[in-house]
Amino acid sequence: MASEDEVSLLVIVVDVNPIWWGQQANREPQFTLSKCLDAVMVMGNSHLVMTRTNKLAIIASHCQESHFLYPCKLWKSGDGHGDENASTSGDGKYELLSVANDFIAEEIKNLMSRSKSEVKGNQTDTLLAGSLAKALCCILSTKMLTGQEMKSRILVVKAAEDCALQYMNFMNVIFAAQKQSILIDACVLDSDSGLLQQACDITGGLYLKIPQKIALAQYLLWVFLPDSDQRSQLVLPPPVHVDYRAACFCHRNLIEIGYVCSVCLSIFCNFSPICTTCETAFKIPLPQVVKSKKKKLKPST
Amino acid sequence: MDEEPERAKRWEGGYERTWEILKEDESGSLKATVEEILFQAKRKRVFESHGQVRLGMMRHLYVVIDTSRTMEDQDLKPNRLTSTLKLVEYFVEEYFDQNPISQVGIITTKNKRAEKLTDLAGNPKKHIDALKKAKDSTCGGEPSLYNSLSLAMQTLKHMPGHSSREVLIIFSSLTTCDPANIYELVKTLKALKIRVSVIGLSAEVRVCTVLTRETGGSYHVILDESHFRELLMFHVKPPPATSSSECSLIRMGFPQHTIASISDQDAKPSFSQAHLDSTSGGPGLSMGGYFCPQCQAKYTELPVECKVCGLTLVSAPHLARSFHHLFPLEAFQESPLLLHHTERFCEACQGELKDKSVFTCPSCNSVFCVECDLFIHDTLHCCPSCIHSRSAP
């Protein structure tokens, strides 16, 4: 059981890629972005209710920006335009939860309507690495503010596919999270994501690909709600087999044995005399030339 | 030495004379000075980027620790040896964090001899265990620079040409006892391209100055424990490669991690090659592990050099850890808060900007607070706003 003063911060990063969700609305009309956010709100509320000192943050990861759905900037600075609306909640729910839910709903509507006209054809990938970086900075600043022992974790709800361009930034974020002992859990809706599998393996979190999207709330509450201390006591989905093979820079194939340039650490599948990334000429090991010994001529008798 | 009878306890000695740096302002309050000190401490790490210089990424480093009589001196608390060993433990951890494909070995020298505490290896656990055990050892006699350097040289000269060969000596004594002419040894070291750096604990010694100057290393003498720590951390970053180091393609293997459980049909428990020689008595048999792609020998941890076929085994994240050295992040520009009226929140953490100066990224002009800036440069190595612009690294 966590001690009374321990603060636990959960950051939920939700993938709201409009293109994927738009296609999803055509494929399965019963599971749309609003249903997904309902499930996320249930998860967030449950986390806040578990212990009085728990904290929550929700980030929406769009293809053009990452936006904090909760907590809201205006709220923090005390401008308080939401104060009038938040005085009573109609159904007797704990006020913190109803205020949080209203804010999240408001912010996501603003986000989606704001960017409706600006999505261009080539920018279809979710900016997940950027959202994770912002989540890490948010965790760090909360840690500085409270000054107490804090356990934090990040839960990623991923919808669209991976973007290979983000590999290096993603790895930087994963190593930073590992250094700060922050777990990254992943709940994947559609297609398996190699990057998230590596993230969960390296930081010690859980990776789960959901078989039925409609039951998202159940999976979130069952698998991802308990924190790391309690997870050892529960029977949770087994770890997946992570493919740590590197992809060669020339063909993007996964290789088991490869050649690594000692200058720039790029990986190649075949030996080549020049590195294509840093253009260094390599020293090719030549076969050793054996010097033939000169035979001494016997003096002819 | 007159103050000694006044001090009640030994450990209070570390706080002497700190009042001299605090100054009162007009109203008699120390708040401004204290904030200034804290602010400077946060910004103390100067990020000097080498620019477009080739770095020695695969490093073979020997750390030579002087365990002679002078290490029992108590000017570093509780004594020099314990303090040094603790800092070297921290150094080893940080070193493997920043250079995952490099290797470290530890040598100690006392009683005019040198002996290897640990061999060159890529696994930090072994070194940290050995350092913990060494805390109980006694110090005595004189150190020998010649013997420790020749011991290090014996192994380093067989290392491949593309790796950077380094020796870091933590030297506390003012004397050294050598069996032969050390200047000859310095010439040999220079010919073998071994870079020797020294951190002195007592005072500057001429032979160390010559040694480091000839081989291209650095020589510093510590002021106090925090300065010692800073000097050690300076050696964690990969140094610029010498012009004579060769560039080659290194053949490496990327084994798959098999997680087998007892219920699998084909799973058989097996021994790990790395544990065959170990006497630590850990669990020998394990179900899953990493299998070398060339000879199928099993290992439990990476990176490791396969004992059977000699192939270096790493995983892709290990190489990815070193990428931030190759693409370093530019330092952000510091500017006073008063110039920024429009932004009240830090882009990264959404917190209010309260410190007296803010930091701006030169490429995307986003504003960050002090803690985020430190975190971004120390740990994250990428600007959170720039990575939103989807440019490939």
CB A256 to CB B293 under 8 A? Answer: yes
What integer is the mean pLDDT of B220-238? Answer: 87
Q: What residue in A sits closest to B371 (Cα-Cα)? A: A141
Does the CB of A165 have a partner CB in chain B at under 8 Å?
Answer: yes
pLDDT tens profile A98-111: 888 888 888 888 88
pLDDT score recorded for residue A281: 76
Question: At residue B147, does pLDDT exceed 50?
Answer: yes
Confidence of residue A256 (pLDDT cuts 50, 70, 90): confident
Does the CB of B30 have a partner CB in chain A at under 8 Å?
Answer: no
Residues of A in contact with B316 (CB under 8 A): 244-247, 267
Residues of A in contact with B264 (CB under 8 A): none
Question: At residue B36, does pLDDT exceed 60?
Answer: yes
Does the CB of B38 have a partner CB in chain A at under 8 Å?
Answer: no
Does the CB of A130 have a partner CB in chain B at under 8 Å?
Answer: yes
Shortest Cα distance, chain A CAs vs residue B122, angstroms: 17
Confidence of residue A18 (pLDDT cuts 50, 70, 90): confident
Rounded Cα distance, B346 and B353, in Å: 6
Question: At residue B40, does pLDDT exceed 70?
Answer: no
Shortest Cα distance, chain A CAs vs residue B49, angstroms: 16
Extract the runs of DSSP E, i.e. beta strands, from chain B. Answer: 59-66, 103-110, 113-121, 164-171, 194-200, 219-221, 249-253, 257-258, 270-271, 285-286, 289-291, 298-299, 304-305, 312-313, 333-336, 357-360, 367-368
CB A134 to CB B384 under 8 A? Answer: yes
What integer is the mean pLDDT of A138-147? Answer: 84
Question: At residue A13, does pLDDT exceed 70?
Answer: yes
pLDDT tens profile A163-220: 777 888 888 899 999 888 899 999 999 888 888 888 898 898 999 999 988 899 999 9
Confidence of residue A12 (pLDDT cuts 50, 70, 90): very high
CA A286 to chain centre: 46
Structure-token match 């510091």, residue found: B334
Rounded Cα distance, A63 and A21, in Å: 12
**Which two tokens mark A298?**
């016997």
CB B382 to CB A198 under 8 A? Answer: no
Does the CB of B262 have a partner CB in chain A at under 8 Å?
Answer: no
pLDDT tens profile B238-250: 888 776 667 778 8
CB A172 to CB B316 under 8 A? Answer: no
Pair A131, A59: CB distance under 8 Å: yes
pLDDT tens profile B179-190: 999 999 999 999
CB B251 to CB A259 under 8 A? Answer: yes
Confidence of residue A143 (pLDDT cuts 50, 70, 90): confident
Question: At residue B168, does pLDDT exceed 90?
Answer: yes
Does the CB of B42 have a partner CB in chain A at under 8 Å?
Answer: no
Compute the CA torsion angle A170, A173, A178, A184 (nearest 10 deg).
-70
Does the CB of B31 have a partner CB in chain A at under 8 Å?
Answer: no
Residues of A in contact with B254 (CB under 8 A): 244-246, 255-258
Does the CB of B393 have a partner CB in chain A at under 8 Å?
Answer: yes
Mean pLDDT, chain A, integer: 81
Of A35-44, A66-75, A188-197, B45-54, where does mean pLDDT reach its minimum?
Answer: B45-54
Q: What is the ipTM of this complex?
A: 0.79
Give whole-number Cα distances, A93 to A87, A172, A208, B349, in Å. Answer: 12, 41, 31, 29
pLDDT score recorded for residue B22: 62
- Say what percent of chain B tops pLDDT 70: 76
Extract the runs of DSSP E, i.e. beta strands, from A142-256. Answer: 150-158, 183-188, 207-209, 246-247, 254-255
Structure-token match 């261009």, residue found: A120
Residues 71-100 in B contacting A (C-alpha not used; CB under 8 Å): 97
Question: Among B54, B251, B316, whose Cβ lies nearest the Cβ of A246?
Answer: B316
Does the CB of B304 have a partner CB in chain A at under 8 Å?
Answer: no
CB B393 to CB A241 under 8 A? Answer: no
Q: What is the DSSP string of B116-170?
A: EEEEEES-HHHHHHHHHHHTTPPP-S---HHHHHHHHHHHHTTS-TTSEEEEEEE
Question: Among B246, B320, B390, whose Cβ lies nearest the Cβ of A168?
Answer: B320
Confidence of residue B276 (pLDDT cuts 50, 70, 90): low
Shortest Cα distance, chain B CAs vs residue A79, angstroms: 13
What integer is the mean pLDDT of B292-301? Answer: 83
Shortest Cα distance, chain A CAs vs residue B373, angstroms: 10
Does the CB of A141 have a partner CB in chain B at under 8 Å?
Answer: yes
Q: Report helix, strand or coil for B328.
A: coil
Mean pLDDT, chain B, integer: 80
Residues of B in contact with A144 (CB under 8 A): 371
Give whole-number Cα distances, A192 to A27, A61, A189, A243, B179, in Å. Answer: 18, 18, 8, 12, 64
Q: Report helix, strand or coil for A217.
A: helix
Shortest Cα distance, chain A CAs vs residue B251, angstroms: 4
Pair A156, A207: CB distance under 8 Å: no
CB B326 to CB A65 under 8 A? Answer: no
Residues of B in contact with A168 (CB under 8 A): 320, 323, 327, 382, 393
What integer is the mean pLDDT of B119-147? Answer: 89
Structure-token match 């005072």, residue found: B203
pLDDT tens profile B99-128: 888 899 999 998 999 999 999 888 888 899
**Which two tokens mark A291?**
């010097």
Question: Among A180, A198, A264, whose Cβ lies nearest the Cβ of B317?
Answer: A198
pLDDT score recorded for residue A77: 47
Question: Among A141, A166, A202, whose Cβ lies nearest the Cβ of B317?
Answer: A202
Residues of A in contact with B311 (CB under 8 A): 257
Does the CB of A261 have a partner CB in chain B at under 8 Å?
Answer: yes
pLDDT tens profile A53-78: 888 999 998 887 888 888 776 555 44
Does the CB of A205 have a partner CB in chain B at under 8 Å?
Answer: no
**Which two tokens mark B162?**
């593309």
Structure-token match 């600075």, residue found: A77
CB A137 to CB B384 under 8 A? Answer: yes
- Say what percent of chain B tops pLDDT 90: 26
Element (H, E) at B226: helix B225-234
How many Å is the Cα radius of gyration of chain A?
Answer: 26
